Amino acid sequence: MVLAEVAEKEKLTVSEEELNERINQYKQQYQQSAAQFDEPDMRREVVSRILTEKTVDKLTELATKK
């Protein structure tokens, strides 16, 4: 919940390009189950993962800012 609040306040988003790039990476990594990454639920999960990573990166940046 806290990460979601930070993401909203910092206006962090995931572009379609970022999503597609990450999905392509996962498809290469998990070739046997690549088709699952085309399903809407999985796409939402990937967006959530990317947004969490961006939020943690932003918090790290803010915490180490001089």
Q: Which two tokens stand for residue 29?
A: 């990594």
Q: pLDDT by residue (tens digit) across 20-66?
A: 999 999 999 999 999 999 999 999 999 999 999 999 999 999 899 86
Q: pLDDT by residue (tens digit) across 7-22?
A: 999 999 999 999 999 9
pLDDT higher than threshold 90 for residue 2: no
Angle at 18 between CA 59 and CA 45, to 5 degrees: 75
Compute CA 38 distance to the chain's CA centroid, rounded to the nearest angstrom.
15
Distance CA 55, CA 35 (A): 28
Nearest to 14 by CA among 35, 34, 44, 39: 44
Nearest to 3 by CA among 61, 56, 64: 56
Domain layout of the chain by residue ranges: 13-64
